[in-house]
């Protein structure tokens, strides 16, 4: 027997489910129609959809609003957080939110190249210092 519509005094049925008159998952036809609507929306409003996806992704990945990222970029002067780089060009995919993979603490916004380099070094300070020393030796 399905649970009652009013569970602990909270209406658990969504408005769209009420309109459909059922609780179960959507049919394949309804799922396909939703995909088509989304694709049409992407074609009609590409910047709006991209912006919404960026905001959702940032909130999901970093647990903060996208506006916080924009404030951080502004505080950095629109430049890469790496003091050795400081470019104003974020790269093809935009600014990358750098964070400590252990604590999750956000460190700053990096350009694409610095983000890739840091990822390849696996945030290892010893490797980064070693490479810097190596480059100085072989000038």
Structural domain boundaries in the chain: 28-63, 78-139
Distance (Å, rounded) from C-alpha 11 to C-alpha 4?
9
* 69-80 pLDDT per residue, tens: 999 999 999 999
Instruction: Indicate if the alpha-carbon torsion angle 119, 121, 124, 129 is positive or negative.
Output: negative
As a whole-number percent, the residues of the chain with pLDDT over 90 amount to 61
What is the pLDDT averaged over residues 50-76?
93
Closest to 131 (Cα-Cα) out of 121, 92, 123: 121
> Strand runs (DSSP E) across the chain, as ranges?
6-7, 10-11, 96-99, 106-110
Statement: 78-139 belongs to CATH 3.40.190.10? no
């Amino acid at each position: 027997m399905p649970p009652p519509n009013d569970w602990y005094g909270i209406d658990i049925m969504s408005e769209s489910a009420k309109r459909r008159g059922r609780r179960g998952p959507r049919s394949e036809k309804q799922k396909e129609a939703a995909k088509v609507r989304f694709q049409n929306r992407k074609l009609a409003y590409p910047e709006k959809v991209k912006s919404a996806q960026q905001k959702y992704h940032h909130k999901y990945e970093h647990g903060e609003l996208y506006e916080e990222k924009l404030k951080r970029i502004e505080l950095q002067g629109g430049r890469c957080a790496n003091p050795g780089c400081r470019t104003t060009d974020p790269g093809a995919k935009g600014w990358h939110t750098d964070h400590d993979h252990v604590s999750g603490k956000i460190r700053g916004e990096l350009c694409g190249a610095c983000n890739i380099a840091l990822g390849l070094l696996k945030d290892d300070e010893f490797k980064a210092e070693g490479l810097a020393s190596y480059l100085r030796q072989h000038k």
